Structure 1
Amino acid sequence: MDLGGQWHMHRLGDAERIPATVPGSVYSTLLEAGRMEDPFWRDNELDALKLMEHDYVFERTFDVAPQMLEGDALILTCLGLDTLCEVRVNDQLVLSANNMHRTWEVDVKQHVHAGQNHLHVTFFSPTKFVAEAFENSFIDGSTDAMRGFPHLRKAHCMFGWDWGPRLPDAGIWRDIYLTRVDKARLRSVRIRQHHQDGRVTLSFEPEAEVVAGAPALSGRITVTAPDGTILTSEGEDIEVTNPQLWWPNGLGEQPLYDVHAELRADGEAVDTWQARIGLRTMTMKREKDEWGESFETCVNGVSFFAMGADYIPEDNVLPRVTPQRTHDLILQCKKANMNAIRVWGGGHYPSDAFYDACDEMGLVVWQDFMFACAMYELTDEFEQNIVAEINDNVRRLRHRASLGLWCGNNEMEWQVDDHVYTMTHKQKADYIRMYEYIIPKALKKVDDVTFYWPASPSSGGGFDNPNDPNRGDVHYWEVWHGNKPFTAYRELFFRYASEFGFQSFPCLKTVEAFTLPEDR
């Protein structure tokens, strides 16, 4: 049962209700209602930032049919809550959330009744939270962002970055829905590929959750090839003969196979799961050579030169990003002859539409986990929170044809090693614990196939010259930050340049779109 669509929003303590659309946010709601100025116009960003010093409420009513309550559970699923919030159903607190990168779920059957019900989500000020947290516990990070931003599992760039404004929006930024569950549900399916002698053997590991009783579970897997050929399994492996292999853009085609899984409890179908996969092997090839060590993406045994760009959030008002907009962006990347794209760790984990487009167009995804340019205070609670975040996103993405590697963070090994930030001895030690033990250990439990790299840039971890041009990947900003000429690029032979560039003014037509003549 989709709970998106028409809601109402109000500032906590105000009586006036403003019509809102969910998925949506404070900014998207106020903009649509004409209650705030365009934050990109002149210096309106400053006024928009002040709006987030307040708390906001999103609410709606919804009708529940009696048969929805006949199941063993009624799961409220929130795919994106940004960020600090409390969720109430019929005035009963059912969920408290503090991480925009997670999927939040709770069984609300005992709180829901047949007929009309009320759903109420209160979002608390992110700017007040990080300011108070910073005063109580100093954690250093990028000076372009608001102080205290590492305390909150929220896209860090929303608090400002060297390329973007401080617009820390809040809201229900992804789908929200109710699901009736009978006996059990299928959370995910781990798919393994074994390539040998021109054949691909697929094995399947369904991850089912029993919600009531002790039902006998069984299942059925259907794989549909691009040419329409159907292969089925009742649990045994599936062998694909004459497989159509998936290749990066420019190296071949991107055929995709549809996978449909059905879960049965006591012989009755109770849930389904589906995905598209590409048949391929993929890893990072690292071999010692006369210069140091290679670092190259290898697909189906073929190494290739990665050509691409870093992907940051497409808009500061996230609900304005549509699947079509994302598709068009990736299409531009393909037409520019890119074959790779790096999801930068200071933003958020993109939507399924992003990975759909990369699967279809052959862009290999370097996927950062969402940690960037900051120190973190590792506590038991923080560890539990980030492990849950990793589990949610890895389970969602691990089957993707385009998924090239997981990366622990953006620039932190390099910056910690260079003492860019003020840090305690514990915080420096926590760096190793997080990115070289906790995260890879959690990752291995849910994806032990995809290559893991501890940081970007890195030479492999352990503060071993992390921006070494002869090993691993490099971030090179000397042409911009170091004021070197563009000709300096001709003198460099990096193994893998995962960041480089030069920030310039946009064209005059773009500048005219956000300024007055006297501003130019």
Structure 2
Amino acid sequence: MRSVTLNGNWMMKRTDEAEWNEAIVPGSVFHDLMSAGKMEDPYFRDNEFDILELTKFDYEYRRSVLVDEDLLLMDRVLLRCEGLDTLCEVYVNGQAVLNTDNMHRTYEADVKRLLSAGRNEIHVIIRSATNFVIAKDKEHHLTSCADAVPGISHLRKAHSMFGWDWGPQLPDMGIWRDISLRGFNIGRIDDIYITQKHGDNLVTVEIAADLQRWTSDVPLALQAAIGTPDGRTLKASVRQVSDTAKLVIDIPNPELWWPNNLGSQPLYAVLVQLLNGEQVLDERSLNIGLRTLRVVRQPDEWGESFAFEVNGHEIFAMGANFIPEDNIFGRRSNERTEQLIRSCVEANYNCIRVWGGGYYADDYFYDLCDRHGLIVWQDHLYACGAYDFNDEFKENIRLETIDNMKRIRHHASLGIWSGNNELEYAWAYWGWTERYGEKQRDDYLKQFEQFLPVLSRSLDPNTSYLVSSPSSKGGIEDPNNENIGDMHYWDVWHGRKPITEYRTLHPRFMSEFGLQSFPSIKTVETFTLPEDRNIFSRVMEAHQKNGTGNEKIMYYISEYFKYPRNFETLLYVSQLIQAEGMRVGIEHWRRNRGRCMGAVYWQLNDIWPGASWSSLDYFGRWKATHHAAKRFFAPVLASALEEGTTVALHVTNETRRVVRGQLRWRLLDRSSEVIQTGEAEVSLGAFSSEEIVSLDFSGTLTTKEQLSQSYLTFEFVSFGKTVSAGTALFVKPKHFELLNPEISAAVTEEDDRFVVTLESRSFAPFVLLELSRADARWSDNVFALSADQPAVVNVPKNGLSEPLSLEAFREQLSVTSLYDTFE
């Protein structure tokens, strides 16, 4: 096989204009127009609304490629397009070869007869997706996200590009993945499917290959080699193959793949080659992890379980929902994705859900999840809308599903396929049958309960499948049932219920829940002018896509915190209520481990800068929630369930070993003077949670003043090291009578880090460390500080966005606590 890349430099323009502009492929129209100075940044202020109009034009790309005689002598020369977004006409030397309508598919065309030795022209015309969906919606209305351009269910393009309740209406377009010419002789490997059979200190790997042949009378052989982490190479071969072949390789003493914090992630390199004698005609290489991974669903005392089981152990899944990383596809990069996944790992995730309103992620995303131990919950790409399940649409999504399941299914990290996001929920609870009719409801059942499950199981029988998220037993029958299946819960936020409402729920697996917050002032400054920096300004409201979202943020702030003193502290306090909400829910569900076996919050990341449910903002900056996640997702967690003057202290162990240590607690006044202390010995089995001690302070905290001036600290200590710690109040934070903590920060420098030592004169909750210009990775942040216990925070130099001297670090450092956020 020969491959000639068509990535790199192209020319592009609007079809109704004469001037060509330089372009980069893979990339996008928006990115190329911005690079050419033909478009303003759509994220700045409210430019979005003007730039949406640019999506109503058509665009074209062209480039030439040199082709040599050797390529033309091959049996087949295919033009391979791995990502065309979306309504594209592709020409080779003026001849039409492709007409595409699905950005999620890989398209191929045999172009050998159209090529000649020397220079050849590739030309791609991209028609307006915005015009297409608007026209289709007028012909046949299909409901979809209310915040999007209407008609998006008619087109197989990432729905969120057209707008969502956290993202703008900016449907970019372009050649967004690799494009190449590929030459083959005699035949090629069409597909590889790998099955593992685990035995006693042995894993048998079965490699099933589907082959495509153009010459039947030439003998072909297939061979496979597996490179082990310890340097061995294990081989198998078949000398005579037809259209299919199977190879079997035994791996003795296998090194098992584990999710993050449960073990290592060794990967085995698989190379499969199609041979004609000694000549390699084609080859496939991929990495696999040896593990068993399934979703266990079986009847129990509460209903039916829903838990990932890895290598025989049921684990509690911890993570968040991943959305597209940018509305401008040309800005996407491996570096950004790696930064995002590393942030997940640092925050102790073991799971990530790829949400169904975006796109199937790039190969590199899944590679990173393999390397770092993040179980992938993969939605098929349907969300919050109805679809016309006609024959043309059915065939289109059949090919889309085949392309992507074959591409993704070998990954060690893949844990479950899900049919869609919230469609069964909508048909069950949103009155869709009455509004849109039985035909569309029946189309839903045909597509998502018959066609896709059968197709998906035929393509990947080894991976668990869920018909929708959330879903209990399917059939549009109470899909958000707390006792069966997974659950989405939005009464906290949309229903304005208090964050403590999470503690009334005992889902089997909570796969969506969340609260909004604003990004930091550094991020807000990138899209505003000074006069815009009021959350009810035109610009700030333009960057809030959830209708009354800013009002809801203020409502939740008012419930728990005092009115912020200025715009900047308001941004920070919004992050605190989000972090507290996620902590309250997740700690509760982890305390109820066994009944609940997963907490995946909404959402991980942002598609543009603005208010949203994310814990990482558009630039990858950690909000308060992400710092909190590092603690509430810790493998061993100490947590408190406070009610009035009683506090139950729990320890949760999400590891494969027994943990032993001491659970220590202290009741302190606001000056951090000790009122009471205690300690309990802990010996807790693997994968378990237990209440360790129940405290009753009704005889000690007898007045309003004592309740509003006292707090509880607790820590789980194992072998002299604090493993997990926390704080509990007896009143809402806004009613706690704080003293000025007068926090001091001393900064020293070591070879590879800066070390910040913090001391306070009194209790200081929610202590935030920031640098005014640079970004940093902090070993801890947004934490409580007691007067008698200094905190030490490490800042690795390789985690800084720019090199800093000790003097510059000190100059940029600021320290904020809750006391500083109000007058």
How would you bin the TM-score normalised by the shorter chain? over 0.9
The match for 1:426 among 425, 430, 439 is 439
2:186, 2:213 within 8 Å by CA — same for their partners in 1?
yes
Alignment correspondent of 2:76:
73
The match for 1:365 among 376, 384, 387 is 376
Out of 199-208 and 340-349, give the one that drifted further: 199-208
1:72, 1:212 within 8 Å by CA — same for their partners in 2?
no
Which structure has the greater CA radius of gyration? 2
1:186, distance to aligned residue in structure 2 (A): 1.0
* Distance in 2 of aligned mates of 1:319 and 1:169: 9
* Distance in 2 of aligned mates of 1:383 and 1:214: 36
* Distance in 2 of aligned mates of 1:115 and 1:86: 23
- The answer as to 2:415 corresponding to 1:404 is yes
Give, as a single letter, the amino acid of the residue that structure 2 aligns with 1:97. T
Equivalent residue runs for 1:332-411 within 5 Å: 332-411=343-422
1:24, distance to aligned residue in structure 2 (A): 1.3
Give, as a single letter, the amino acid of the residue that structure 1 aligns with 2:500. T
Out of 228-237 and 404-413, give the one that drifted further: 228-237
Deviation string, structure 1 residues 233-274 (Cα, Å, up to 9, x no partner) = 004411111100000001111000000000124663200000
TM-score, normalised on structure 1? 0.98
- The answer as to 2:16 corresponding to 1:5 is no
Alignment correspondent of 1:475:
488
Give, as a single letter, the amino acid of the residue that structure 2 aligns with 1:486. I
Deviation string, structure 1 residues 390-440 (Cα, Å, up to 9, x no partner) = 000011011100000100000000001123543221110111111111111
Deviation string, structure 1 residues 105-128 (Cα, Å, up to 9, x no partner) = 111001111111100000000110
Alignment correspondent of 1:307:
318
- The answer as to 2:450 corresponding to 1:450 is no
Give, as a single letter, the amino acid of the residue that structure 1 aligns with 2:523. T
Out of 445-454 and 204-213, give the one that drifted further: 204-213
Alignment correspondent of 1:323:
334
Alignment correspondent of 1:95:
98
1:217, 1:267 within 8 Å by CA — same for their partners in 2?
no
Give, as a single letter, the amino acid of the residue that structure 2 aligns with 1:9. M
Give, as a single letter, the amino acid of the residue that structure 2 aligns with 1:453. L
1:189, distance to aligned residue in structure 2 (A): 1.1
1:216, distance to aligned residue in structure 2 (A): 2.8
Structure possessing the higher relative contact order (Cα contacts under 8 Å, 6 or more residues apart): 1
* Distance in 2 of aligned mates of 1:494 and 1:279: 30
2:176, 2:329 within 8 Å by CA — same for their partners in 1?
yes
SS in 2 for 1:52: helix
The match for 1:186 among 164, 185, 189 is 189
Alignment correspondent of 2:49:
46
Alignment correspondent of 1:290:
301
1:212, distance to aligned residue in structure 2 (A): 4.0
SS in 2 for 1:410: coil
* Distance in 2 of aligned mates of 1:95 and 1:77: 10
- The structure-2 alpha-carbon separation of the partners of 1:71 and 1:170, relative to structure 1 and needing over 3 Å to count, comes to same
* Distance in 2 of aligned mates of 1:35 and 1:493: 53
SS in 2 for 1:404: strand
2:78, 2:110 within 8 Å by CA — same for their partners in 1?
yes
The match for 1:484 among 485, 497, 515 is 497
1:221, 1:234 within 8 Å by CA — same for their partners in 2?
yes
2:9, 2:22 within 8 Å by CA — same for their partners in 1?
yes
* Distance in 2 of aligned mates of 1:427 and 1:116: 50
* Distance in 2 of aligned mates of 1:20 and 1:212: 40
Equivalent residue runs for 1:10-49 within 5 Å: 10-49=13-52
* Distance in 2 of aligned mates of 1:174 and 1:40: 23
- The answer as to 2:207 corresponding to 1:204 is yes
SS in 1 for 2:89: strand
* Distance in 1 of aligned mates of 2:277 and 2:218: 6
Out of 422-431 and 452-461, give the one that drifted further: 422-431
* Distance in 2 of aligned mates of 1:137 and 1:212: 47
Give, as a single letter, the amino acid of the residue that structure 2 aligns with 1:341. I
SS in 2 for 1:390: helix
1:408, 1:455 within 8 Å by CA — same for their partners in 2?
yes
1:479, 1:502 within 8 Å by CA — same for their partners in 2?
yes
2:30, 2:330 within 8 Å by CA — same for their partners in 1?
no
Alignment correspondent of 2:233:
230
Count of residue correspondences: 520
1:187, distance to aligned residue in structure 2 (A): 2.3
* Distance in 1 of aligned mates of 2:100 and 2:321: 29
SS in 1 for 2:275: strand
1:460, distance to aligned residue in structure 2 (A): 2.8
- The answer as to 2:179 corresponding to 1:153 is no
Alignment correspondent of 1:466:
479
1:216, 1:267 within 8 Å by CA — same for their partners in 2?
no
* Distance in 2 of aligned mates of 1:143 and 1:489: 27
Deviation string, structure 1 residues 128-157 (Cα, Å, up to 9, x no partner) = 000111111111111111110100000000
* Distance in 2 of aligned mates of 1:211 and 1:32: 44
2:12, 2:59 within 8 Å by CA — same for their partners in 1?
yes
2:78, 2:111 within 8 Å by CA — same for their partners in 1?
yes
- The structure-2 alpha-carbon separation of the partners of 1:215 and 1:464, relative to structure 1 and needing over 3 Å to count, comes to farther
The match for 2:523 among 487, 510, 513 is 510
* Distance in 1 of aligned mates of 2:159 and 2:455: 22
1:214, distance to aligned residue in structure 2 (A): 4.3
Give, as a single letter, the amino acid of the residue that structure 2 aligns with 1:190. Y
Alignment correspondent of 2:452:
439
* Distance in 1 of aligned mates of 2:55 and 2:322: 26
1:282, distance to aligned residue in structure 2 (A): 0.6
* Distance in 1 of aligned mates of 2:431 and 2:409: 33
Give, as a single letter, the amino acid of the residue that structure 2 aligns with 1:488. E
* Distance in 1 of aligned mates of 2:200 and 2:277: 39
Q: CA RMSD in A?
A: 1.1
Alignment correspondent of 1:242:
253
* Distance in 1 of aligned mates of 2:213 and 2:518: 56
1:487, distance to aligned residue in structure 2 (A): 1.3
* Distance in 2 of aligned mates of 1:92 and 1:454: 42
SS in 2 for 1:238: strand
2:187, 2:212 within 8 Å by CA — same for their partners in 1?
yes
TM-score, normalised on structure 2? 0.62
1:208, distance to aligned residue in structure 2 (A): 1.3
1:213, distance to aligned residue in structure 2 (A): 4.4
Residue ranges of structure 2 left out of the alignment (5+ in a row): 239-246, 534-823
SS in 2 for 1:38: coil
The match for 1:165 among 158, 168, 171 is 168
